[in-house]
Structure 1
Amino acid sequence: MTRSHTDQAWPTTGLSFGGDYNPEQWDRAVWREDVELMKQAGVNIVSLGIFAWGLLETAEGHYDWEWFDEIVDLLEEHGITIDLATPTAAPPSWLLAAHPEFPPVDRDMTRHWAGARLGWCPSNPEFRTHALRIVRAVAERYGSREHVVMWHVSNEFGGGNGHCYCDVSAEAFRRWLAEKYGTLDALNAAWGTAFWGHNFTDFSEIIPPRGNDSKNPSLMLDFDRFSSDELLAHYLAERAVLQQITPDTPITTNFMVGAEADATDYARWAPHMDVLANDHYTRSSDLLPQQDVAFSGDRMRSLTTDRRPWLLMEHSTSAVSWQPRNRAKNPGELSRNALSHIAHGADGVMFFQWRASRAGAEQFHSAMVPHAGANTKIFREVTALGAQLHRLSPVMGSRVRPATIGILFDNEAGWAMREGVKPNNFMPYGPAVRAWHAAFWRRGESIDVIPPWNDYSGYKTLIVPQLFLVSDETAARLGDFVAAGGTLIVTAFSGIVDENNQVRLGGYPGAFRDVLGVWGEEFYPLQDGETFELDNGWTGSEWTEHLHTVSAAPLAHFSHGPLAGEPAITLRTLDGGGRAIYVAAGLDNQSIGDLLALLVPAQDSLVGAPDPDLEIGVREAGTRRFVFLINHGQRTVSADVTGRELLTDTEVHGSIQVPAGEVRVVETSAD
């Protein structure tokens, strides 16, 4: 096992590069070609065995190790390390045939049929018994192999079994509730069950939020929490077996962190990971996919308090196969995406998968070796990326430049937004957060996307976008942040409910009324196609509200409509210099940028005035600084910097040209 200079366990000696490897899909004749191509591309690690349970355990307690021994030996022979999976993401057909009760049940009580992945209920104790048997068998056989450098527990938890509504889950949910609330009186109070006369007199009366009718949003939120906890409990059970057998081998699982509320609460899972790992895929419909890459990286980095490097476990070389229209990546986009993840804190990039499948559900998903073989644009770009990552070895273990801007993101707030009816049901959580991130990203600034309970020290500005659910503790800490001189920007529909998903009384925005110095009496959500304009020319859509100032001053008013003349954006300034801004309107991207230009001075740029097409990322280690310059545009751009460019191994004196679609990384001094 190697360590980076962050003293964190890391599976490879240099930046990690590789992908999911599924040799079971291919004849043995292909295996040697695979490892030769891996060496050619610079691959130093593969994830192995993720979906191999049924091929390893052919019947209960009966194992076929011969073929797997052969591929493990072959990878070792060629110096390729293994991120070895516990294959529990895909239960064998023989197991599901014997136990048709194992697959999860949908909200409408339809049980999943065998044939998909993650086809198991997280609450089922008998399934866990079978799962831990294969985990132990794999660990005992391969855990002592030196080139097995990391454990990959299952795969994408929640991606198929994020919620299960079966009777076994229902009973587990009741136990979870009894442990959380202790008494039915406490539960009834927390859920407000007096509404519709749904007061519970025994825990046995409680069922998951089945069906599609309107349900109690407090119950729905607790079921989201329970579901995340059940999946975490399964991860921890597998982890415990691995720790017992191989205590020194790091253990992880692959998150799916993006801009939406996740199926599982990754910020609360993160402390249980030795190496943080993420799967990230851009969407064909995304108008700014490069910013989505940056947002995901900024969230991943901020899941740990020390913001240590993380691993991109999966992304795509080109098109995926599960979107309505699957766009192929443009020339150079593969490298730009990968190196952007490095710029935002990753110490490795991997792909799904190594070789494109001939058969199966993802047969048209791109891969490192496409259907057409190695003589292709994709494989040439993969090989070029491998060489780039080798040249960027000095970056390993460095940290992203400390940010002075933090954006709060909480899955529980996203779940609460999603569950239950709202004044405007077309305002999902993720886009609201991402819009504010994009405004800073366009300015070339470092941004942390942090859980609400993280330390706020070191930040000058905190953004609270649509944090619908917030605890008293978080609200108080944000108040202290402003009192200490910080700038706080809170957007509409924040602070509305408490931890139990109950509306905070006394006027909106609930938990933030005092620090913002305002209160609102009524929401005025806009209809589809409606827009608003403020008296300073800023515009937007979706949301307005009737607001009153108490200790704040209006910065802008609504210029027309039923709220004409009423405040839309307010500012409260404290004696210590702290500022609290409330944005009671759904500003568009241009207006968000204008507001930030007015209220939040841009960080000092390390490369002069940033070009709009140029993404800038900065990582540092001691006195060494690594400036990533990623040109997403169609023309050459320049940046002011001095140092050594790592990808071309050239000296840079004062200015560098970055060709269209390319990346440059300049090592300079952080003095």
Structure 2
Amino acid sequence: MISTLLSRLHHGPDGAPTHRLAYGADYNPEQWPREVWEEDVRLMREAGVNIVSLGIFSWARLQPGPDTWDFAWLDEVMDLLHAHGVGVDLATATASPPPWLTTAHPEILPVTDRGETLWPGARQHWRPTSPVFREHALRLVRELAARYAGHPALVAWHVNNELGCHNVYDYSDDAARAFRDWLRSRYGTTDALNHAWGTAFWSQRYSDWEQVLPPRLAASHPNPTQQLDFKRFSSDALKDHLLAERGILRELTPGVPVTTNFMVMPGTKGMNYADWAGEVDFVANDHYVVPGPRDRDELSFSANLTSGIAGGRPWFLMEHSTSAVNWQPVNRAKRPGELARDSLTHVAHGADAVCFFQWRQSVAGAEKYHSAMVPHAGPDSDVFRAVTALGDTLKALAPVAGSEREPAEVGILFDWESWWASEQDSHPTSLLDYHREALDWYSALLSLGIRADVVPTGAGLSRHRVLIAPVLHMVPAALAKDLTRYAEQGGHLVTTYFSGVVDENDHVWLGGHPGALRELLGIRVEEFGPLPAGQSVELDGAGAGTLWTDQIEVTGERTEVLARYRTGTHAGRPAVTRRSTDGGSASYVSTRLGADGLAALLPRLLEPAGVSSELPAAVRGSVEATVRRGPGGRFLFLVNRTDETVTVPGVAGEVLLGDGSGDGDEVVLAPRAVAVLRTPGD
């Protein structure tokens, strides 16, 4: 459906569609006097902006009182944008309730696990399960949809904003009632609930549904499966709100695509976006770089995962930053070239739209130091010149629009429920970081110049010759069968410590670890060996491991030992194993090797699959290669990950973008630059 959105974008009042990438930002004209609006649309045309997200935080302006509406200003803005060829992704404005609503109905405010009320004064101060909030929010959505259903500027609907960013977990009485309803639907009877939650432990058996509560602050560790189910429920509660708003929008504007902005980035794990993706007409994502030694890897990883969530189809980058943000301990401005490189890395991984928060930098409020397309310094600034240059670049890349990511031979499995379950309390270690382990593998592959797809658990397994499943902690029986079938039919599975340990109820698979995957891997682990912070063990031929070790016993006749521990409690025992199957294999890595250690080990793990880099050896690690393919051809993106000039030999094709020079079969990439080459598609 992103193709539907793109086809609705136009150059002018005639509404003529064009093949293009979308480009724009959140636009908040209600923050500015009327005379600024004319300058805004003039500068938008100069920058090449063709879409804006409008009205995201405007509920108090649109509805000043319970029975008072003010659409005149929004009518004018919609008309003005349309007249200047800018399409509107119109928000439902339900993200931040107005003061009159929270004053009249404080029962819509979220409650923490400690029983503390989260008061107004910021944003997202609403309970996802509040029937009072739902009633008022849907009334607003209906008013908006009815009024703008036929407006020519409307190209998409933007439900709420960053659902769950600040209110994913609510422990109120509304949440308790909704949680019980969700549990009844999942389990049917209290007996089934008691079995799933293992309530024989600590005398927790429930005899009536009304006894069940969210995992509020307790004297000790709350029931683990109760915690896990509350995470599932909380993601579903937000999804249910998305569906409620979407239902009205589809009823009144059936031809307009509907989305909401995900937040696929580290630390945002409460929403199971793989589960949500089928409920939107196109996937949209917000992403912000957290500066650090692996920030390039993380940006690529998140963009790649967003593509995986979207099933490889084009998606919409709804928000990222032109320069500094305002919410990190130290907010660093982007260096020259980083604005374009960040944006084009998302495009390389399937984004058909590049948008920022926000169009014009605020003069007041909590985000006044957050960068924008038009900064405080105005259009006579390096930021706006970079913004305008990117607009020209995206016009040149118009042939890329509508193409999909070409599948890679290697896939990294990313599983939200394993993320949730593996990091809960009362575990062998509190130092485990699921996202970091997955990123380690991705970073190692990037350093080797090997393309990989990051895909959710529900994606088809057979498309990848190698499937890496880091810390796949939760493995239901059905998934175990799928993974076994994958390896037995010629696929090459690689998994790690703390994988295959529990089923969907967070119950341990008995008989030894890694439980559900024990026979497939041909090993048995009697006891975990987590390592204290700062402690490491050496492996022969595979560097040093941290965080975790396992006491591995080889049980399969076809299982070979690829590396052993040289030091530590398990010195001499296997550390990395591989069991051969008919045409495939299943490997196990029992410690955290980090990106560098994995880069040293990966060639041995990939060798049976015949996977190697498509890049020349001289540029591996310096350049990231990504491929999109569509009716317009095959598009090779080359991203310079370094601050030095890099020459990439052995590449050919029409140079759509070269931030350097193309000469015969080589491309020269300036520091932090991106090149795009097109060859005919299959």
Query: TM-score, normalised on structure 2?
Result: 0.95
Identify the residue that residue 228 of structure 2 maps to in structure 1. Answer: 221
Distance (Å, rounded) in 2 between the aligned partners of 1:452 and 1:609: 34
- Call closer, same or farther: CA 1:607–1:590 in 2, change over 3 Å: closer
Aligned residues: 666
Q: Structure 2 matches for 1:438-453, cutoff 5 A?
A: 438-453=443-458
Identify the residue that residue 15 of structure 2 maps to in structure 1. Answer: none
Asked whether the 8 Å contact 2:421–2:474 carries over to 1, the reply is yes
- Secondary structure of the 2:495 match is strand
Distance (Å, rounded) in 2 between the aligned partners of 1:531 and 1:608: 31
Q: Structure 2 matches for 1:60-79, cutoff 5 A?
A: 60-79=66-85
Identify the residue that residue 15 of structure 1 maps to in structure 2. Answer: 21
Match of 1:151 among 135, 141, 157: 157
Distance (Å, rounded) in 1 between the aligned partners of 2:134 and 2:284: 23
Q: Structure 2 matches for 1:87-126, cutoff 5 A?
A: 87-126=93-132
Identify the residue that residue 645 of structure 1 maps to in structure 2. Answer: 655
Cα drift, residue 557 of structure 1: 1.0
Identify the residue that residue 463 of structure 2 maps to in structure 1. Answer: 458
Residues 217-238 of structure 1, C-alpha deviation per residue, up to 9 Å, x if partnerless? 1000000111111111111010
Q: Structure 2 matches for 1:172-321, cutoff 5 A?
A: 172-211=178-217, 213-260=220-267, 262-284=269-291, 286-305=292-311, 307-321=312-326
Asked whether the 8 Å contact 1:309–1:397 carries over to 2, the reply is yes
- Secondary structure of the 1:302 match is helix
Asked whether the 8 Å contact 1:443–1:602 carries over to 2, the reply is no
Distance (Å, rounded) in 1 between the aligned partners of 2:662 and 2:654: 4
Cα drift, residue 472 of structure 1: 1.0
Residues 277-309 of structure 1, C-alpha deviation per residue, up to 9 Å, x if partnerless? 00000102x21211111111111111134x210
Cα drift, residue 140 of structure 1: 0.9
- Call closer, same or farther: CA 1:390–1:607 in 2, change over 3 Å: farther
Deviates further, 239-248 or 62-71: 62-71
- Secondary structure of the 1:320 match is coil
Identify the residue that residue 87 of structure 2 maps to in structure 1. Answer: 81
* Equivalent AA in structure 2 for residue 581 of structure 1: S
Identify the residue that residue 428 of structure 2 maps to in structure 1. Answer: 423
Cα drift, residue 357 of structure 1: 0.8
- Secondary structure of the 1:290 match is helix
Identify the residue that residue 641 of structure 2 maps to in structure 1. Answer: 632
Distance (Å, rounded) in 1 between the aligned partners of 2:452 and 2:568: 36
Asked whether the 8 Å contact 1:9–1:250 carries over to 2, the reply is no
Distance (Å, rounded) in 2 between the aligned partners of 1:10 and 1:345: 19
Distance (Å, rounded) in 2 between the aligned partners of 1:177 and 1:562: 43
- Call closer, same or farther: CA 1:174–1:303 in 2, change over 3 Å: same
Identify the residue that residue 661 of structure 1 maps to in structure 2. Answer: 672
* Equivalent AA in structure 1 for residue 163 of structure 2: F
* Equivalent AA in structure 1 for residue 234 of structure 2: S
Residues 1-45 of structure 1, C-alpha deviation per residue, up to 9 Å, x if partnerless? 9837xx997757410100000001111111111111111100000
Match of 2:598 among 592, 599, 615: 592
Q: Structure 2: any 5+ residue segments left out of the alignment?
A: 11-17
Identify the residue that residue 3 of structure 1 maps to in structure 2. Answer: 3
Distance (Å, rounded) in 2 between the aligned partners of 1:279 and 1:509: 36
* Equivalent AA in structure 1 for residue 280 of structure 2: M
Asked whether the 8 Å contact 1:613–1:633 carries over to 2, the reply is yes
Cα drift, residue 412 of structure 1: 1.1
Identify the residue that residue 496 of structure 1 maps to in structure 2. Answer: 501
* Equivalent AA in structure 2 for residue 3 of structure 1: S
Identify the residue that residue 509 of structure 1 maps to in structure 2. Answer: 514
Cα drift, residue 54 of structure 1: 0.6
Question: Is 2:412 aligned against 1:402?
Answer: no
Deviates further, 612-621 or 34-43: 612-621
- Call closer, same or farther: CA 1:347–1:179 in 2, change over 3 Å: same
Match of 2:339 among 334, 338, 344: 334
Question: Is 2:632 aligned against 1:615?
Answer: no
Deviates further, 88-97 or 588-597: 588-597
Cα drift, residue 76 of structure 1: 0.9
Asked whether the 8 Å contact 1:607–1:641 carries over to 2, the reply is no
Cα drift, residue 362 of structure 1: 1.0
- Secondary structure of the 1:101 match is helix
Cα drift, residue 442 of structure 1: 2.4
Asked whether the 8 Å contact 2:542–2:563 carries over to 1, the reply is no
Distance (Å, rounded) in 2 between the aligned partners of 1:152 and 1:450: 25
- Call closer, same or farther: CA 1:51–1:439 in 2, change over 3 Å: same
Q: Structure 1: any 5+ residue segments left out of the alignment?
A: none
Asked whether the 8 Å contact 2:637–2:674 carries over to 1, the reply is yes
Cα drift, residue 189 of structure 1: 0.7
Question: Is 2:356 aligned against 1:345?
Answer: no
- Secondary structure of the 2:482 match is helix
Cα drift, residue 261 of structure 1: 5.8
Distance (Å, rounded) in 2 between the aligned partners of 1:304 and 1:362: 30
Cα drift, residue 669 of structure 1: 3.1
Deviates further, 222-231 or 644-653: 644-653
Residues 369-390 of structure 1, C-alpha deviation per residue, up to 9 Å, x if partnerless? 1111111111111111010000
Distance (Å, rounded) in 1 between the aligned partners of 2:109 and 2:217: 18
Identify the residue that residue 557 of structure 1 maps to in structure 2. Answer: 564
Cα drift, residue 338 of structure 1: 0.2
* Equivalent AA in structure 2 for residue 434 of structure 1: L
Query: TM-score, normalised on structure 1?
Result: 0.96
- Secondary structure of the 1:596 match is helix
- Secondary structure of the 1:582 match is strand
Asked whether the 8 Å contact 2:124–2:166 carries over to 1, the reply is yes
Asked whether the 8 Å contact 2:474–2:501 carries over to 1, the reply is yes
Residues 245-267 of structure 1, C-alpha deviation per residue, up to 9 Å, x if partnerless? 10000000000012456221111
Distance (Å, rounded) in 2 between the aligned partners of 1:281 and 1:10: 28
* Equivalent AA in structure 2 for residue 72 of structure 1: M
Deviates further, 437-446 or 392-401: 437-446
Distance (Å, rounded) in 2 between the aligned partners of 1:292 and 1:174: 37
Identify the residue that residue 368 of structure 2 maps to in structure 1. Answer: 363
Tell me which stretches of 4 or more aligned residues in structure 1 moved more than 4 Å.
7-12, 606-609, 648-652
Asked whether the 8 Å contact 2:109–2:126 carries over to 1, the reply is yes
Identify the residue that residue 569 of structure 1 maps to in structure 2. Answer: 576
- Secondary structure of the 1:585 match is coil
Question: Is 2:470 aligned against 1:481?
Answer: no
* Equivalent AA in structure 2 for residue 224 of structure 1: K
- Secondary structure of the 2:547 match is strand
Residues 130-156 of structure 1, C-alpha deviation per residue, up to 9 Å, x if partnerless? 001100111111121122000000000
* Equivalent AA in structure 2 for residue 618 of structure 1: V
Cα drift, residue 635 of structure 1: 1.9
Deviates further, 150-159 or 579-588: 579-588
Distance (Å, rounded) in 1 between the aligned partners of 2:190 and 2:171: 21
Deviates further, 643-652 or 212-221: 643-652
Distance (Å, rounded) in 1 between the aligned partners of 2:364 and 2:548: 47
Residues 171-193 of structure 1, C-alpha deviation per residue, up to 9 Å, x if partnerless? 11111111111111111111001
Asked whether the 8 Å contact 2:308–2:454 carries over to 1, the reply is yes
Cα drift, residue 274 of structure 1: 0.5
Asked whether the 8 Å contact 2:413–2:456 carries over to 1, the reply is yes
Distance (Å, rounded) in 2 between the aligned partners of 1:481 and 1:648: 40
Cα drift, residue 606 of structure 1: 5.8
